[in-house]
Structure 1
């Protein structure tokens, strides 16, 4: 995919496009907010440069054809709402892992569901550069809104991975949700 242009996706209310350095302050605000990262497998950002490194990391994932991350923007205002994408994908087992986060002022408005539904449709489409059979989401058991989001898109709880992730000096269980191509809901 690295030799292709970064794909832009539009939904009724959103534009999903590439993160830029202009997004660094908004991205920092998200990842430095303890309430947002409470359910996220990352250490809280303390310096703006961490947002720069995250943007570089997302760019490197796309350039190496191992994943993709979009900025989520309000279609009418251009406001940065958060990000979504596939933290990784694997052509050999035809799978991908989805991730997302929003600024908390945009929670509860259906933006994340709209964005994640669009990218799941994107990766399951016949036009995607390899056949994807399965998309996974790893979610902390305490993150009920995220569980509700993925379930609304057709994901199923497949089990709990005990002690799966480590951050903030502790191991954390993660619930594994999955959806197969033939289970997807078209939006």
Structure 2
């Protein structure tokens, strides 16, 4: 049975060397549309490219409500120097009894190949295991998305199986590759630096 984490007004801000994982602000809508409106970014996503700013505004509203409900921890990935949003990452599908959830992420194409996704997910996963006390985190990707597979494997995820033709997106059938990361796998890596954690300073409402 799906459950949730304790609700919060806003999740804490996670800071790394170059990034801040923070709650969304209204000003993020334009950059969100730029990310999810890019066909290359959503090539292996479960939905098509966005076509209007209302979709970005809906994602922000969903994230704010989910902070209150505890069913979704969605972060804006922002550059520390400018606070500009360059991606998103989230934990969702929580199961209390099993201390398990699912991971999702997307990064603006202009920032691919610079290590930002790995840096952000290192922070999020460390927080999930050591602060939220999760035991298992899952991810499912299109097996043709080799960059995403390399990223997950670098973070310690292990490929656990496939499900053929699970999605029909962009008019074509797509398989799913399942990955899992246990807390003990994460701790065995022994290479992660814990991000600095600070209370959020953004207002919940505009």
Give the structure-2-normalised TM-score. Answer: 0.84
- 1:146 corresponds, among 140, 144, 148, to 148
CA distance in 1, matches of 2:50, 2:177: 24
Partners of 1:95 and 1:133 within 8 A in 2: yes
- What are the residue-to-residue correspondences of 1:63-102 with 2, within 5 Å? 63-102=68-107
Partners of 1:59 and 1:68 within 8 A in 2: no
Segments of 5+ residues of structure 2 without an aligned counterpart are 1-5, 194-206
The corresponding residue for 1:105 is: 110
Please provide the CA RMSD for this pair: 1.5
Number of equivalent positions: 184
CA distance in 2, matches of 1:75, 1:100: 18
CA distance in 2, matches of 1:75, 1:65: 26
Sort the Cα spacing of 1:148 and 1:4 in 2 relative to 1 into closer, same or farther, 3 A.
same
Following TM superposition, the consecutive aligned residue runs of length 4 or more in structure 1 with deviations greater than 4 angstroms are none
CA distance in 2, matches of 1:58, 1:12: 25
The corresponding residue for 1:47 is: 52
CA distance in 2, matches of 1:147, 1:173: 14
The corresponding residue for 1:34 is: 39
SS in 1 for 2:82: coil
Offset at 1:89?
Answer: 1.9
SS in 2 for 1:179: strand
CA distance in 2, matches of 1:16, 1:135: 18
Q: Deviations over 1:59-109 (max 9, x none)?
A: 222221112110111112222111111133221221111111111000000
SS in 2 for 1:36: coil
CA distance in 2, matches of 1:3, 1:79: 24
The corresponding residue for 2:197 is: none
SS in 2 for 1:148: helix
